Structure formats: structure tokens, C-alpha cells
Amino acid sequence: MAVSPTPSPADRAGVTTAALVLALCFALALVARGTVESFTTFLIPLGEEFGWSRTALNSVYAVYALTAAAAAPMVGWILDRWGPKRLYLLGIVLMAAGLTGAASASALWQFALCLGVLVGFAYIALSPLPHAVVVSRWFPHRLSSAMGVVQASNGLGIFLIVPLAQLLIAGAGWRWAYAGLALLVACLLVPVSFAKRATLERGRAPASAPARDEAAAAPPASGASDSPAWTLRRALGNVSFWCLFAMFFFTSVGNFSVVPQMVPLLVSTGVPALKAASVFGVLGTCAMVGLLGYGWLSDRIGIFPAATLSYLGSVGGFLTLMALIAAPGEALLWTFVVLFGPSMGSRFPMVSAYAARLFRGPNLGRIFGAICVSQGIGTAIGSFAGGLMHDYAGGYRWVTAFALVNMLFAYAPFVIVRVRGLH
């Protein structure tokens, strides 16, 4: 019977440092995602004050998503050249500036500039994109689980910050609500300033234990063994790259045709505004649990089975949401939350773990940034199309049907990967 060696002081220090790095990434992603998704609580007050259509308001979210897509390769380049600490500081300053500008905005283009361009670039700098690179250096053997923890912060951020934004709007108005969110984001400067640049960049020394997650055990894509380090140009010629790209794209189109409108959608079914924001927050909590669970599952049963379960949850959730719109009721409302919540965003840790193993090397940041471009494009198309269909049809039935079809398309790349043996 093998006896596990006693961890040395250096090993214990490495574990502590890895946990602190993970906690920092968790906090950054929590505040960034919660702040971005609070946009749904501002749709009704902005529409009432300025008389803008849902298409016009969702165009702000589309600008944010397109900016994030365009910024992803640049953020990857900054991450590879300047390191994560400088990137995080830049993102915090830009997000706080964008929210402060939104608090005094009065024209649609001003909201597009502040919430679309500034917050869009800032979010991608604080998003799981750079965290995936940083965490991959500290958790080489449980990367899906570690990324599940980071991505779970998105759900907790939605749970905490979306209802907070609704309370601020109800108590002080939407302008002060944006000012309060700006102050919250600025508080992140403290832990990032104290983080050591070398710690974030160095990573943990390789452990003797073999990697056990599926991505680590997966063979490299065709032509990857005994070949030069991955470059973006070389990755663009790889089938796995485009499978991951397509998965992110269709998943984002499906999710974000509905998610930015979630609070007004629930209000349209008779749910009070504060309760609707709280339900959206509960969705975030379910997402946090799901991300941890799916990250754990993908390390143990494989990425493909875990992805299959997550897409079944998304499809079931959208079917339930369609039923809720047709016949509102508490049972359908909470069934939707239970089905859709755990699957919301659950694919990211699986894909990021696989990408980190497949395209490991000095150019991982820009390669993964290129993959994440599809998220921004899909989010922009989904949010704009969702608003357009709402205004055209006068409701949300076509929006949810559109989301459902895109989720089916999103699952196809995983099937291709499975059939071709690229996983």
C-alpha cells in the first residue's frame, strides 16, 4: 500500500499561495460579472425615464459584448506581455470610470460609451479569460475544478449584486445606483495592489502526481506532439480551436438573448420587480453550485458527459420558461430556476481547462482570447436579437424559442469533438 509523502513547508506554502491567488480571481470575477449583469435591473427605469425601446436599450448591452469580443485578443496580449496585475488594475479603473459616467449620462450614445465600451473592455480584463491563464499555472492537475470555483463567482456575483442594484434603484434612483456600483468596483484596487506581480505570473512548481482531469489526459490535437510551441496562427488551423469557438458562440447567443431581459421578463409574468431581481440572484446562486458541480464532474466522468448534462439543463430550462410565459405560476418559475440556473455558464470551466491543456505555452493568453471573441460576438447578437424580437412580437415567446434553438446548435461542437476523438 503506497504511503503519501508528508508535504514539505515549501509545498504547504505553495498550497496557501495557490488558494490566495484563486481567492483573488474569485473576487474580481464576482464583482465584475455581478456589476455587468445588474444591467437587467436598469432596463425598466431607463425605459420609463427616456422612453427608449427594448431594442435601443439592449443595443447598449450589444456594444458592451462587441467591445468585449474585440478586446479579448488585446487583453490576451496584455496578459502575456504586461502580466495579470497590471491588467487587473487597468480593468478596475476602466470599469469604475464607466459606471461613474453612466451615473450622469442622459443620451443613448453616452450609455453606449460608458457601459458599452469602457465597461466592456474592463469586464474582459477582469473576466475568467485572464483568470484561466493565471489559475492554470497554480492548479495544473485540477484545472476544471479550479476554474469551476472561479466561474462560480459569477453566480455569487449575480446573487449579491443584482438585488443590491435593485434596492439602490428603489431607494435612491438609478443614477445613485450606478455611483454605488462604481464605488464597489473601486474597492478591488486594494487587494490587487497588495498582490505580488511575480506570484501571479510565476505559478506553482509542477507536482509529482499525474494530472487526472480529462483535458490533461487528452492527447494533443493532430500535429501537436513534438512540434513547436503553439502560436495563434497555428491554433487557427486546428479543428479543436473552431469547435471551442462555435460552442462559446452559440451558447452565448442562446443565453444572452434572454439573460439581459430576465428581470423585465419575469415582471411580465406578474412577478414584482424586487422579487424578480431576487429570483435572478437565486439563478446566480444555482449557477455557482452548478459550476462547482460540473467542474467536479468533468474531472471525474469526462468533459463530454458533463457537457451533455449541462446542455440538457439549459434546454429543459428554456422549455420551462416558455411554459411559464404561457401560464405563469410559482411551480414553473422555480422549476425554471432549478433547471437553468446550474447550467448557466457551466461550460466555461470545461472549455478553458481543455484549451489550457491543448494550447499550453507562452501564447495561451492570446489563443484563449481569440476563442473568447466568439463569446462577445454571440452575446452581442443574442442580446440585440432578443430585444428586437421582444419589440416586434410584443413579448418573450419568440425570444425563448430562439434561445432554445441556439442551445441545440451549441451542443453540436461537443458531439463533433467526441466523434472525431479530439477530446
Q: Give the CATH number of the domain where residue 306 resides.
A: 1.20.1250.20
**At a CB cut-off of 8 Å and minimum separation 6, what does 265 contact?**
258, 325, 396, 399
Instruction: Decide which of 384 and 417 is more confident.
Output: 384
In a domain, 327, yes or no: yes
Instruction: Flag whether 1 is in a domain.
Output: no
Q: Check whether 224 has a pLDDT greater than 60.
A: no
CB 31 within 8 A of CB 161: yes
Calpha distance 163→173 (Å, rounded): 14
Q: Pick the more confident residue, 299 or 83.
A: 83
Question: Contact at 8 Å (CB) between 17 and 7?
Answer: no
pLDDT greater than 70 at residue 140 = no
Q: Is residue 16 part of a domain?
A: no
DSSP 136: H
Asked if residues 277 and 162 have their Cβ atoms less than 8 Å apart, the reply is: yes
Please name which of 50, 165, 69 lies closest in space to residue 108, comparing C-alpha atoms.
50
Four-point Cα dihedral 370, 376, 382, 384, nearest 10: -130
> Cα–chain-centroid distance for residue 62?
15
| C-alpha angle 257-317-30 in degrees, rounded to nearest 5 | 65
More confident residue, 199 or 194: 194
> Within 13 Å, how many C-alpha atoms sit on residue 70's CB side?
13
pLDDT level of residue 123 (50, 70, 90 thresholds): very high
pLDDT at 207 exceeding the cut of 50: no
Percent of the chain at pLDDT > 70 equals 86
CA–CA dist 44, 375 (Å, integer): 26
**pLDDT per position as a tens digit, 44-80:** 899 999 999 988 999 998 899 889 888 877 888 888 8
Q: Which domain holds residue 134?
A: 22-201+214-420
Q: How confident is the model at residue 217 (pLDDT cuts 50, 70, 90)?
A: very low
Q: pLDDT > 90: what percent of the chain?
A: 41
Residue 167: inside a domain? yes
> Which phi and psi (to 5°) does residue 144 adopt?
-60, -45
What total of structural domains would you count in the chain?
Answer: 1
Answer whether residue 30 is part of any domain: yes
- Give the phi and the psi of residue 8 in degrees, each rounded to 5: -80, 165
Residue 215 pLDDT greater than 70, yes or no? no
What integer is the mean pLDDT of 89-118?
96
Query: Residue 1 has what pLDDT?
Result: 46
What's the confidence (pLDDT) of residue 371? 85
Residue-level pLDDT at 326:
92
Q: φ and ψ at 5, to 5 degrees?
A: -70, 150
Domain-located, residue 209: no
Distant-in-sequence contacts of 48-52, Cβ < 8 A, 24+ apart = 49/174, 50/106, 50/108, 52/108
| Residue 154 counted as domain residue | yes
Query: pTM, whole model, 2 decimals?
Result: 0.71
- Whether 4 maps to a domain, the answer reads no
Using only the alpha carbons of the chain, give its radius of gyration: 21
Whether 280 has a pLDDT exceeding 90, the answer reads no
pLDDT computed for residue 196 by the predictor? 79
Residue of 260 and 223 predicted with greater confidence = 260
pLDDT at 210: 44
Indicate the range of 39-48, 134-143, 301-310 predicted with least confidence: 134-143
pLDDT for the residue numbered 419: 62
Q: How far is CA 263 from CA 11, 37, 160, 280, in A?
A: 47, 10, 15, 7
